[in-house]
Structure 1
Amino acid sequence: MIPTPVRGMRIFLVDDHPSILDALQTIFMRNNHEVGTATSLEKTEEALATFEPDLVVVDLSLCGESGLDLIAPLVERDVPVLIYSMHEDAATLRRALQAGASGYVSKREPMSVLLEAVDHIFASRQYISPLVSLNLESSFFTQPQHALSERERQILALLAKGETNAEIAESLNISIRTVESYFTRMISKLDLPGMKDLRKYAIADGRS
């Protein structure tokens, strides 16, 4: 469900391409948003000393700098961050989400997707664009499964069946705490953001 379009918010744009900044600024201002812009991390910090945004839209490649470095400081200030980037790989998406980004949109997608992402985030919903989501789902089939031990593979299979932590523990005659420890190690080995993603990986693995 697409939220009702939001108007009159304060949006700050960070991108090292002036032409992209100009285009985005024009589009957002047509939607009655107040817009601020910057082309680097330093200029962003300077501008945000006086501009208090409701949302920051960040590119990841900023003339040798990484927009990822902006996410955590902004999240600490309760400012949601939307990544708008050419990077669509699952690893970069995970890093952005782990840092606290509220959304991620590929620059290869129509402008309507970016506007939809903004509306979702203003409605307090996380948004991952279709192209990025597709790459994330595909990555579940290419993770290094050989890194898992035989016991971890057993737990993964039970997780795919929808069994709870308690049911897995009972099936394998181990404690629930041990099951949770296995989950933590598996998430790390497979480079996944969290438990929800491990469950999705388990289901995808069971179907392959």
Structure 2
Amino acid sequence: MFLADPFHTPANLRFLLIDDHPAVRQGLNLLLEANGYTPGVEAGTRVDAKACLEQAAFDLALLDLSLADGSGLDLLVDLAEHGVRTLVYSMHEDPGTIDRALRCGANGYVTKREPIGVLLEGIEGILRGECFVSAHAKSSLEETAGSPATDPLFLLSDQERVIFSAMARGESNTEIAESLGISPRTVETYLTRMVNKLGLSNVRSLRKFAISGQG
């Protein structure tokens, strides 16, 4: 799915543009078209984005983190499960959000106040199979390097925090899946990511950690 693949030229790469502002989505499509890409499919909410993922395959998603129906961070798991690489394009510049996005599976991060050329550079880099963090985002991360968050749940996405709370109440994977309207397999994917983020050994230790009242 990368530009290095002769069977995938810029014109036939498929983009998914996830942003709650129609003007931003339209602007991104104009940018793509001006640079030889086919305009992408637009989604304004998490629900719309998930529906798009079920209906078609995509090579790259441009993802805003502030959506009308919740945080875009929680879409990163769904995008990864469908084999879609993701470049976060967001107004959020704080190191915590940037770090969480990258740890949740984003392949790159560009802030919205950076020149449009930086966004294009990020798109091209990720399509080549690289990880791309813009200079501004990287600078923000470096400001807090070596200063770990005091909250051990800091790195969890909003959805992961909901699942963590459900585990603390003693709910099973099936019960969590039913309450959130997702599949048990998706719950398992979240749990695996949570284990890795929190530096635990397995899901059993994660459940013990949750029930113990930590976080």
TM-score bucket of the superposed structures, by smaller chain = 0.5 to 0.7
TM-align CA RMSD: 2.5
Q: In the alignment, which of 87, 93, 97 is matched to residue 92 of structure 1?
A: 97
Provide the rounded CA distance (Å) in 2 between the counterparts of 1:39 and 1:47: 11
Measured after TM superposition, the shift of residue 66 of structure 1 is 0.6
| 1:75 and 2:80 aligned | yes
Provide the residue aligned with 1:110 in structure 2. Answer: 115
* SS class of match (2:29): helix
Look up the equivalent residue of 1:25 and give its one-letter code.
N
Provide the rounded CA distance (Å) in 1 between the counterparts of 2:35 and 2:100: 30
Question: How has the CA–CA distance of structure 1 residues 144 and 54 changed in structure 2, closer, same or farther, with 3 Å as cutoff?
Answer: closer
Q: Deviations over 1:78-123 (max 9, x none)?
A: 2101100011111111111111110000000011100000000011
Measured after TM superposition, the shift of residue 45 of structure 1 is 1.5
Provide the rounded CA distance (Å) in 1 between the counterparts of 2:126 and 2:76: 15
Larger Rg: 1
Q: In the alignment, which of 21, 24, 27 is matched to residue 20 of structure 1?
A: 24
Provide the residue aligned with 1:7 in structure 2. Answer: 10
Q: TM-score, normalised by structure 1?
A: 0.64
| 1:38 and 2:43 aligned | yes
Contact kept? 2:20, 2:68, Cα under 8 Å:
yes
Identical residues among aligned pairs (%): 37
Measured after TM superposition, the shift of residue 77 of structure 1 is 2.0
Matches within 5 A, 1:111-190: 111-140=116-145, 143=147
Question: How has the CA–CA distance of structure 1 residues 145 and 96 changed in structure 2, closer, same or farther, with 3 Å as cutoff?
Answer: closer
Look up the equivalent residue of 2:28 and give its one-letter code.
L
Measured after TM superposition, the shift of residue 21 of structure 1 is 0.6
Gaps of at least 5 residues in structure 2 are 151-196, 200-215
Gaps of at least 5 residues in structure 1 are 147-186, 190-208
Contact kept? 2:65, 2:90, Cα under 8 Å:
yes
Matches within 5 A, 1:61-72: 61-72=66-77
Question: How has the CA–CA distance of structure 1 residues 105 and 188 changed in structure 2, closer, same or farther, with 3 Å as cutoff?
Answer: same
